[in-house]
Amino acid sequence: MKIAKKILTIIIIFAAIIGIAGFLILPYVIKPVLTEKISETLHRETSIDQIKINPYAPSVTIRGFKLADPGQKMPFVVFNELYINAAVMTSIFRRALILDEIRLNKPYLGITRKTDGTYNFSDLLPKEETKKKESSKPFLFSLNNIQITGGNIDFHDMPNKTSHTVRDLQLAIPFASNIDYYMKNYVQPRFSAFVNGHGVAIGGKTKPFLTSRDTSLIIDMKNIDVPYYLQYVPVKMNFKLTGARLDTNIHMNFIMPREKSP
């Protein structure tokens, strides 16, 4: 009995230490380090309101993230909350990164196309393409319950002196995985948003990591102002379209058999 009590006491003390470290210490240590590293890497001022760690779940919650846009009043990237729940024991057992849930709430992205044709993120793009040797053992992962809610995007097109907006962006992906067991199952993503005030919805099913790329999509768009978007066509057109509205309900199927054309 005494040995059992000692073991139980050790377990309780160990759990308490993990709890104190996770709930109270780690967030205050990680927050300044993370903001500094992101700022240095992206050359943009970064701020985070709060980081919460639950070592028992285990999960990480980041609240009030803001990435500044140099020289602009509006930020480049903002989100209200990012929640990540990891399956630690399953990850260890399968030797893969397995996340049970990824939830991003109220993200915002501000994109600006400058007068010289570059974008406010052009400096973040790689300068040269470097060919990496393909590893014989791919990095295995399974990302589950991916959700983006209440997203907003502002696109400022300075050369054309116009702006585009995406409001109430909703994205749900049940899972994305390159583990054999999951690769044979269909992923059924759902996307919806209001683009310049017009509703757009995309749904379907796909096996993105199989060689067949077996995919079925449904694209539903209503009341799209066609002339408004024709100005972005990169080729010169020999006609002028003064007015047209587009409604679509397209069903698309795609499959690429091994060593054959799609």
Query: Torsions phi, psi of 116, nearest 5?
Result: -90, 5
Lowest mean pLDDT among 65-69, 95-99, 184-188: 184-188
Supply the pTM of this predicted model: 0.76
Instruction: Quote the CA–CA distance of 64 and 47 in Å, as a whole number.
Output: 8
Question: Does pLDDT of 24 surpass 80?
Answer: no
Note the pLDDT tens digit of each residue in 106-148: 999 999 988 887 889 888 887 765 555 555 677 888 888 889 9
Lowest mean pLDDT among 10-14, 38-42, 95-99, 169-173: 10-14
Q: Where are the domains of the chain?
A: 1-50, 57-121+139-256
Token reading at 186: 């269909």
Instruction: Quote the CA–CA distance of 75 and 55 in Å, as a whole number.
Output: 32
Instruction: Quote the CA–CA distance of 207 and 217 in Å, as a whole number.
Output: 12
The CA-atom distances, in angstroms, between 134 and each of 22, 138, 167, 224 are 37, 8, 39, 42
DSSP per position, the chain: -HHHHHHHHHHHHHHHHHHHIIIIIHHHHHHHHHHHHHHHHHTS-EEEEEEEEETTTTEEEEEEEEE--TT-SS-SEEEEEEEEEE-HHHHHHHTSEEEEEEEEES-EEEEEE-TTS-BTTGGGS-SS--PPPPPSSPPPEEEEEEEEEEEEEEEEETTTTEEEEEEEEEEEEEEEE-SHHHHTSPB--EEEEEETTEEEEEEEEE-TTSTT--EEEEEEEEEEEHHHHHTT-SS--SS-----EEEEEEEEEE---TTS--
Query: Is there a contact between 187 and 208 (Cβ–Cβ < 8 Å)?
Result: yes
Token reading at 75: 């930020």
State the chain's mean pLDDT as an integer. 80
Instruction: Quote the CA–CA distance of 254 and 125 in Å, as a whole number.
Output: 30
Q: How many residues does the chain have?
A: 262
Cα-Cα-Cα-Cα dihedral of 206, 99, 87, 82, to 10°? -150
Note the pLDDT tens digit of each residue in 155-189: 998 888 889 999 999 998 877 777 765 555 556 78
Position 33 scores a pLDDT of 93
Question: 177: exposed, middle or buried (C-beta count within 10 Å: 0-12, 13-18, 19+)?
Answer: buried
Higher pLDDT: 59 or 257? It is 59
Instruction: Quote the CA–CA distance of 119 and 126 in Å, as a whole number.
Output: 14
